[in-house]
Structure 1
Amino acid sequence: MSEQVTTGEHQHEHVNIWHQPMAVWAVAFACVVAFMGLGLVDPILPAIATQLHALPATVELLFTSYLLVTGIAMLITGVVSSNIGYKATLLTGLFLIVVFSALGGHAANVGQIIWFRAGWGLGNALFIATALAVIVNVAKGGTEGAIILYEAALGLGISVGPLLGGLLGGISWRGPFYGVAVLMSIGFIAISTWLRGLERPKRRSSIADPFRALGHGGLFRLGLTALLYNFGFFTLLAYTPYVLANFKVGVHGLGFIFFGWGVLLALTSVFVAPRLQERFGTLATLMGVLVCIGLDLLFIGLGLSSEIVVIVMVIVAGAFLGVNNTLITTAVMEVSPFERPVASAAYSFIRFFGGAIAPWVAGKLAAAYSPHVPYYVGAVALGLAVLVLLSGRKYLRAI
């Protein structure tokens, strides 16, 4: 009886997921700014390399340091939030992002930016791991509705990041860093003001919890799938600006191209992913979009001499990425018996390694062989992701 009532309430709330308390929108706004960090530096990568006299492979370490620290720090997010509370953890993460993004704008060389991006990654880990748990706890509409809101914020942040990076980067490569510091300060004030009455986690987490969670076959396979997927994702996101720069696409042009990519990502994550999941199921849809992402990377590699092919395939990739992000996040929240913050931390610990190594590897492969090779390797990674996902189908059928 209680299950029927819960289901009915869930369906009713799901229709009204956009009617949320101000606390939810405050966290969602900060999520948008936090996820800007992924694509913010995209349009200015060639400019940083030129003006600070650095090799592309070195500049790619801006992604590597950021994502590597984010992934490793995921292991301590549960410990921190269970000791100081969700709100304090969110605010600590936001404070670190404000400080290190501002320092990045003030940096004198690429080495300093790489280290400041690492500090930014620490703040990002504390914030994004906790933000999802907070939105799920505070938002109306159940887990599915909360994840859609979270993915909408992710998509909007990823899409606006390159646009803001292009607009501010047209003035100076330092502009995007200062822009994030200002916007995240606004998010800090909003969360301080509107997020109230949030209870601390009832159980103290330990650093061993995420490792125990990874002992679950379904969660581990989803994490490994995401690692391989993120390898392809960040090959496209971090390496393609150099390819487009060879076509004389400027900072503004790069910003608009990746803005189009991010808009498709945001739209499909919110409006398309739930419908595909309902019609075809989680496993079939995930495998389908992973194959599409792999083919997209393959087509970019094959058509690298054509500016139109590269631009079109980059933008189209956003549609596949949006569907994948929503479905795999939903699957992670439901596949294991572990608490959502623990499951999210364990999953994120694995997946960010794919994004951390991909930009650096892409730069090295391009320098050693040809600009086509990073995309071929990315396509292979997506093929492996499909195989890993297939190996865990018995867990995903229960979702």
Structure 2
Amino acid sequence: MTSPASPAPSPAPSPVPSPFRQPKAVWAVAFACVISFMGIGLVDPILPAISADLHASPSQVTLLFTSYLVVMAVAMLITGWVSSRIGAKWTLIAGLVLIVVFSALAGTSGSVGGIIGFRAGWGLGNALFVATSLAVIVAAASGGFSGAIILYEAALGLGIAIGPLLGGALGHISWRGPFYGVAVLMTVALLATVLLVRPQPKPARRTSLLDPLKALRHRGLLIMSLTALCYNWGFFTVLGYAPFPMELDAIQLGLVFTGWGLMVAIFSVAGAPWLQRRLGLARTLYGNLALFAVVIFVIAAFVDNRPVLITAVIVAGVFIGVNNTLTTQAVMMVAPVERPVASAAYGFVRFIGGGLAPFAAGQLAEHFNVHVPFVIGACAILVGIAILATGHRDLVRAESNQAQLDAHAGQGERDAELAEAAEAATGTPS
């Protein structure tokens, strides 16, 4: 009599690598990302001061967001073309140099028109840097694809949190101070990039100027990008116009938007992965966007009630943080094209919404009332949910691809690279 063979024990699950154990080059780029993203919220505390000192209407001042983000959106189309010719490191350096120059020039300007123009140049530099930095972090980071995205979003959240605080502190002295502050910090980030980031091999195929637009023919990428356009309309309506009805000074506005930015940072890093594990990618995105729309409707209804307005703006950071991380992961997983191309196409579409929303908010408030811009912003997010629902199968596929890559990353970096290459090679348009 022989005893039946006992089943072989299942292999122990691979430990999940920490997203914060990274090479120095990754930390250098992440630091530069923090400073770069500070530019988004930096001007929030000084918008009323610029409006008062330069005798400009709120809708004119919101063009600081519009010129920055619209130029950034359009410039996203050339980032892959530039990077594939001069390499990722030199593209990062070029972007950082432009940000240093144009942020300093904005501080010297004596008119709203001048600041708007210099912010446009700043947006060009930011496009070169932001689109390339994500690709560099994903390529060089250890700890799997999700870990790289979490690190990137942590840098985004930290930058958004620090930006208003620095803007408020320096803006209390002069509205010019925040622009000079960014120039100095970006110079430090430039030096770190030059010294610590190694040149990466250029891609075998040079990206054409039309590749990002052609990538939008893929249904999954187009759906995610249009959803992000609608979401960013609501996001930048809050970010770009909410400071005016608050009627606070620069320090107070800086503290409010620092609280908002901390919510973005915390829920980008901790909240989004936890919710995805509990609910799945699709349900988390649907629920998160719906709750974000509710918060903006609350802002619309109580925009004249300062305590409610401030609380709602800070709470909005929760939903922005969750959405930023999960949407970025989904875009990178659902697009059957090179990641720099996917990033450029996605950035082009979503930042168009972010750029137009603040100016539209100012115009709507001047022609109707201060409630209307936020109602439109909330409705835009509801439209985004409807668009996202048409790509439900793409979300399921994105989550499956992400899980496979992260599983390979736990077994070794080479396995992760092979899995990524296979995913890119076998991806097919929906």
Please, which of 199, 202, 207 is the counterpart of residue 201 of structure 2?
199
Question: Could you tell me how far apart the structure 2 residues matched to 1:19 and 1:64 are?
Answer: 37
Aligned to 1:91: 93
In the alignment, structure 1 residue 378 sits paired with structure 2 residue 377? yes
Q: Write the distance in 1 (CA, Å) between the matches of 2:342 and 2:90.
A: 20
Distance 2:293 2:128 in 1: 31
Quick check: 1:103 aligned with 2:102?
no
What are the Cα deviations for residues 131-186 of structure 1, in whole angstroms up to 9, with x where unaligned? 00000011101211100000000000011111100000000000000000000000
**Distance (Å, rounded) in 1 between the aligned partners of 2:145 and 2:354:** 26
Where do residues 196-275 of structure 1 align in structure 2 (5 Å cutoff)?
196-245=198-247, 249-275=248-274
Q: Mapping of 1:310-321 within 5 angstroms?
A: 310-321=309-320
Q: 2:88 touches 2:199 (CA, 8 Å); kept in 1?
A: no
Q: Which amino acid aligns with 2:318?
A: A
Q: Distance in 2 between matches of 1:8 and 1:303?
A: 53
Are 1:297 and 2:296 matched, yes or no? Answer: yes
1:118 aligns with 2:117: no
Are 2:188 and 1:189 aligned? no
Superposition map of 1:110-189 within 5 A: 110-189=112-191
How many percent identity over aligned positions? 57
What is residue 419 of structure 2 aligned with on the other side? Answer: none
AA aligned opposite 2:282: L
Tell me how large the CA RMSD over aligned residues is: 1.2
**1:336 Cα deviation (Å)?**
1.8
Q: Using the alignment, how far apart are the partners of 1:169 and 1:305 within structure 2?
A: 25
* Paired residue type of 2:173: I
DSSP 3-state at the match of 1:398? helix
Q: CA deviation at 1:16?
A: 2.1
1:331 aligns with 2:330: yes
Render the CA deviation track for 1:18-49: whole Å, top value 9, x for unaligned.
11111111100000010011100000000000
Greater displacement, 108-117 / 198-207: 198-207
Q: TM-score, normalised by structure 2?
A: 0.89
In 2: Cα distance, 1:8 partner to 1:169 partner: 54
**1:389 aligned onto 2:391:** no
Q: Deviations over 1:69-103 (max 9, x none)?
A: 00000000000000000000000000000000000
Letter in 2 for 1:125: A
What is the correspondence of 1:62-73 to structure 2 with a 5 Å cutoff? 62-73=64-75
Please give the alpha-carbon distance, in whole angstroms, between the structure 2 residues aligned to 1:90 and 1:336: 23
1:58 and 1:262 map into 2 onto residues whose CA distance is 25
The aligned counterpart of 2:43 is 41
Query: For residue 355 of structure 1, what is the aligned residue in structure 2?
Result: 354
Return the letter of the residue paired with 1:227: L
Asked whether the equivalents of residues 241 and 362 of structure 2 are also in contact (C-alpha less than 8 Å), the reply is: yes
CA contact (8 A) 2:238 2:313 kept: yes
Shift, 1:304, TM fit: 1.5
TM-superposition CA deviations, 1:265-323 (whole Å, max 9, x none): 10000001011111211111111111011100000111122111001000000011000
CA offset digits 1:330-389 (Å, max 9, x no partner): 000000211110001001110001111100000001011110111100110010000000
**Partner of 2:308 in structure 1?**
309
Matches of 1:327 and 1:241, distance apart in 2 = 27
Q: 1:396 Cα shift? A: 1.2
2: CA distance, partners of 1:35 / 1:351: 16
Secondary structure of 1:112 counterpart:
helix
Aligned equivalent of 1:58, options 60, 65, 76: 60
- SS of equivalent to 1:15: coil
Which of the pair has more CA radius of gyration? 2
The equivalent residue for 1:3 is none
Distance 2:62 2:19 in 1: 38
Q: Which amino acid aligns with 1:244?
A: M
TM-score by length of 1: 0.96
The residue correspondences of 1:69-80 to structure 2 (distance < 5 A) are: 69-80=71-82
Alpha-carbon separation, structure 1, partners of 2:26 and 2:115: 32
The CA deviation at 1:200 is 1.8
Q: Which runs of 5 or more residues in structure 2 are unaligned?
A: 1-10, 399-430
Shifted more, 294-303 versus 16-25: the winner is 16-25
Show structure 1 runs of 5+ residues with no match: 1-6
> Shift of the alpha carbon at 1:198?
2.1
Q: Which runs of 4+ in 1 moved over 3 A?
A: none
Deviation for aligned residue 1:197? 4.4
- Contact 2:17 2:144 survives alignment (8 Å): no
Amino acid paired to 2:132: T
The one-letter code of the counterpart of 2:83 is S
Counterpart-to-counterpart distance in 1, 2:266 and 2:63? 30
* 1:82 aligns with one of 74, 81, 84: 84
Q: Residues 210-236 of structure 1: CA distance to partner in whole angstroms, max 9, x if unpaired?
A: 112101111001000000000000000
Q: Indicate which of 25, 28, 38 corresponds to 1:26.
A: 28
Tell me: CA distance 1:8–1:257, structure 2 relative to 1, closer, same or farther (3 Å): farther
Partners of 1:198 and 1:114 in 2: CA distance: 34
1:4 aligns with none
Q: In structure 2, what is the equivalent of residue 366 of structure 1?
A: 365
CA distance in 2, matches of 1:128, 1:305: 36
Please state how far the C-alpha of 1:124 moved relative to its aligned partner.
0.1
